[in-house]
Structures are given as structure tokens and as C-alpha cells.
Amino acid sequence: MRTEEVSFYSEGARLAASWRTPDSVDGPVPAIIQGPGWLGLRNANLYVRYHEALTAAGFGVLVFDYRGFGDSEGDRTNVSFRGQLQDLRNGVSYLSGRSDVKPEAIGVFGSGGTGGGNAVLLAAADDRVRAAVSQLPVADGADWLHRMRSEHEWLTFLAMLEEDRRDRAATGKGRLVHPREEIMVPTPERRATTVKADVDDRIPSAISLAAADEILTYRPIDAARDLRTPLMVIAVEGDATTPTDHAQNIYEAAAGPRALVVQRNTTHYAAYDKYWELVTPRIVAWFRAHLVAGDVEIHANPGRLDGIEYLGGNNGS
């Protein structure tokens, strides 16, 4: 896998990106765009195994830091999911303009919370995206934040947001909070895991509480309804971080070719290691089937390309 550090612009902000391609390239390649998950960065080691598999299969992968994150320009205190969707769409425009990319064969891969949700939003918003894989997605931001908290904590949180709205309206300034402690409530597994340890110390530690208002209106489930772009959704059964029913609801709402892969007997973060050797070939096969079908010979076992598949348990549909 070759990696070239590149950049593109989104609404005037220069975004840092990594363009990963096969070791040997003969002509333009089909391409996958990836924006990281909640608070993620493009150079997280977690993503490398997926990129290696995709480039080995003949795809290019563009992974980038959203505005305000990592090496990209932008306000470090502002996390905007509407802005992230703009960043993704501008990334598609950048890929479409590269001479080494097949513009008619662009897909999106998103993993982890809003990473998975953003993949659905992009597929629904941009018809240049011909296939999507959404891993462990958030479907409904308000429900996601609510289920992290007991009811009294939720009501206190809502009151804090309302107070912050009044302050912003009166003074032009709002409260800065730690995104992982005061917006998202980490599970015990998240506090203990080292799966993102290589980038954890580079995430913003103080962002505007206004980001939570955007999460309250964040609804990939609405985008999934009537979505005809081929969509694979990957879930963990009994997921305490991104609820399993969020992934299931997105899958059920999609109107085009679709697949749901459910990983059993694991947890949100442990699944990345436990099942990656099973899940990754299915991701590759999905993009092959829907971006370049007929152009490549598939040697990997693709699993089922439509319907529901369970890993770590009995198959069902």
C-alpha cells in the first residue's frame, strides 16, 4: 500500500488527507472516501487494516481529518456534523477531479458512531457515491445521547443546553466542554480500551457545547429512508456504545441493495480485533460487487451480499 499526504479545501478550510493506493496501479482506480468516527483522526492505526485490504483489492482510499481536527484547518472548538457532511462532499469532488480515480466508481466507508452515520448521510446526499458501508453507526443523535444517561442526568443535561443557548444569545459566547466526558458519556469499556490510544491525546479537549445541539438533530435514520444506494451496515449485538437497534433501523429503512452483518459475543471496541478478519473481506466484497462488478475476479469469500448475516452465532435472515 502506498500513502501520499494530500489536501483539499472545504468551504475555504484546507483539509489534510491521506491518499492510499495499491502498490502497483495500472490506470484509474475505484475509490473509497472515509471521514473518521466520533472524535477520530485519519491516521489512527485502527483504520490501516481496512485500507490495506481495500488497496490490495485494487481500490484507492482517501481518509481525511475533518475541519478543526488533526492536521486540518478550522476552529478547534467547533464540531459541526453539517460541516462534516460538507467536508465529505468536497472530498468526493476532490476525488472526482483526480486523474487516477474512476469518478463513476466512488464509495464511502464510515466506522464508529458518527463515522458510520456520516457514511449514510453522504450516500443519501450525493449521487456520485455509488456504494456505502456503515460500521457501528448512530442513527438518531438525540436517542444516542439520551441512552448514555439515566433520566435525571438527561434532564440535567437538557437544562444545561438550554442555559447555554440563552448565554450564547445574550453574550455571543457559550460554554466549552470536554467532548468525551460532557457530551458523550464513556462506557467502562471506552475508558479501558487502547484501540484508539495512538490518537486519543490529539483529540480536542474543549469544544463548544453547541455541538450537542447539532447531535440532537443528527438523524441518519431519516437519510436512510428510501436510500437506494447499495448499503452494508455492520453492528455489534448488545452494543453499549452505539446501540444495536440504530444499525438495525438504518438497515431496515434502506430501500436499495442492503446487507446487515451482526457480530455476536463481543463488544463495541473488542469487535474491531475479534472479527476484523471476517468483516473486512465482506466490506471489500461489497464494494467490488457494487462499484466494479465485472471488472475484477473475486477470490475472497464475500459472505452474503444481501440480507442479514451473523458472525459468532447462527446465521439468519
- Sheet of strand 307-311: strand arrangement: 2-10, 13-21, 60-64, 29-34, 101-113, 129-137, 231-236, 258-263, 307-311
Q: Is residue 145 part of a domain?
A: no
Chain-centroid distance of CA 106 in Å reads: 16
**Among all chains, which residue has been given the C-alpha cell 460487487?**
289
Q: Is residue 185 part of a domain?
A: no
Q: Is residue 198 part of a domain?
A: no
Q: What domain count does the chain have? A: 1
What CA–CA distance (Å, rounded) separates 231 from 254? 7
Q: Is residue 201 part of a domain?
A: no
pLDDT at 129: 98
Per-residue pLDDT tens digits for 243-277:
999 999 999 999 999 999 999 999 998 998 999 99
Q: Return the exposure string of 178-205: e unless at least 16 CB atoms fall within 10 Å of the residue's CB, then b.
A: ebbebbbeebeebeebebbeebeeebbe
Per-residue pLDDT tens digits for 274-310:
999 999 999 999 999 999 864 433 333 444 456 788 8
CB of 258 within 8 A of CB of 230? yes
Q: How many residues would you count in the chain?
A: 317
Which amino acid does the sequence have at 53? A
Q: Is residue 30 part of a domain?
A: yes
Provide the residue range defining the domain that includes 117. Answer: 2-140+219-311
Q: Is residue 77 part of a domain?
A: yes
Residue 98 clears pLDDT 70, i.e. is over it: yes
pLDDT at 226: 87
CATH code where residue 305 lies: 3.40.50.1820
Q: Is residue 170 part of a domain?
A: no
Average pLDDT over residues 85-113: 97
Least confident interval from 51-60, 124-133, 202-211: 202-211
pLDDT at 317: 37
Per-residue pLDDT tens digits for 223-239:
999 899 999 999 999 99
CB of 124 within 8 A of CB of 229? yes
Least confident interval from 111-120, 202-211, 229-238, 239-248: 202-211
Per-residue pLDDT tens digits for 146-185:
999 999 999 999 999 999 999 999 999 999 999 888 998 8
Nearest to 205 by CA among 81, 77, 114: 77
Please report the beta strands in 206-276, taking only residues with DSSP state E, as ranges in sequence order: 207-208, 231-236, 258-263
pLDDT at 303: 42
pLDDT at 295: 47
